[in-house]
């Protein structure tokens, strides 16, 4: 099954670095960089009927549509029913309340702290 990666983060330098790290691990992956949740939702809409596995690296604090609002929209639009949609929060937040809130969204697979290491990326994109 083809796999697409979404990096939804407003920091272009961070998104670029993570993209390069992912390419080093698996250069066959398609990577979509989205500067906020609204752009991410728009791009995901095009893949709604796709059979691709979609892995999302989601930042929380962004302008326009932040990570929490993105998750709420995913829930409203029933995107989370797509078995191929896998979402991980990747944030610099160390607030325990954010981790607890993330657990309220049953379709969020995990919470990683920035910066990511190669081992973290391998776990997220499910490469052993």
Q: What is the DSSP string of 24-64?
A: HH-TT-EEEEESSHHHHHHHHHHTTT--SEEEEEE-S--SS
Across the range 116-120, mean pLDDT stands at: 94
Q: Is the model's pLDDT at 77 over the cut of 90?
A: no
Q: Which domain range does residue 100 map to?
A: 3-124
Question: Nearest-CA neighbor of 7 among 92, 71, 90?
Answer: 90
Tokens of 71: 């998750």
69 CB contacts (<8 Å, ≥6 apart)? 37
Q: Is the model's pLDDT at 22 over the cut of 90?
A: yes
pLDDT reported for residue 82: 65
Q: How many domains does the chain have?
A: 1
Question: Nearest-CA neighbor of 3 among 112, 90, 126, 128?
Answer: 126
Ramachandran angles phi, psi of 26, nearest 5°: -155, 100
Q: What is the reported pTM? A: 0.92
Q: What is the CATH number of the domain that holds 63?
A: 3.40.50.2300
pLDDT reported for residue 1: 64
Residue bearing the bigger pLDDT, 57 or 51: 57
Q: Which 8-state DSSP code applies to residue 13? A: H
Across the range 29-38, mean pLDDT stands at: 96
Across the range 41-51, mean pLDDT stands at: 85
pLDDT reported for residue 81: 61
Split at pLDDT 50, 70, 90, the class of 80 is low
Question: Nearest-CA neighbor of 93 among 114, 72, 79, 107?
Answer: 114
């Amino acid at each position: 099954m083809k796999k697409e990666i979404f990096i939804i983060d407003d920091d272009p330098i961070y998104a670029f670095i993570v993209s390069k790290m992912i390419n080093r691990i698996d250069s066959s992956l398609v990577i979509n960089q989205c500067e906020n949740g609204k752009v991410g939702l728009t791009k995901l809409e095009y893949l709604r009927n796709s059979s691709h596995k979609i892995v999302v690296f989601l930042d929380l604090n962004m302008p326009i549509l932040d990570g929490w609002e993105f998750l709420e929209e995913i829930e409203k639009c029933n995107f989370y029913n797509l078995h191929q949609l896998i979402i991980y929060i990747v944030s610099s937040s160390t607030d325990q309340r954010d981790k607890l809130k993330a657990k309220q969204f049953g379709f969020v697979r995990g919470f990683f702290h920035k910066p990511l290491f190669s081992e973290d990326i391998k776990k997220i994109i499910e490469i052993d």
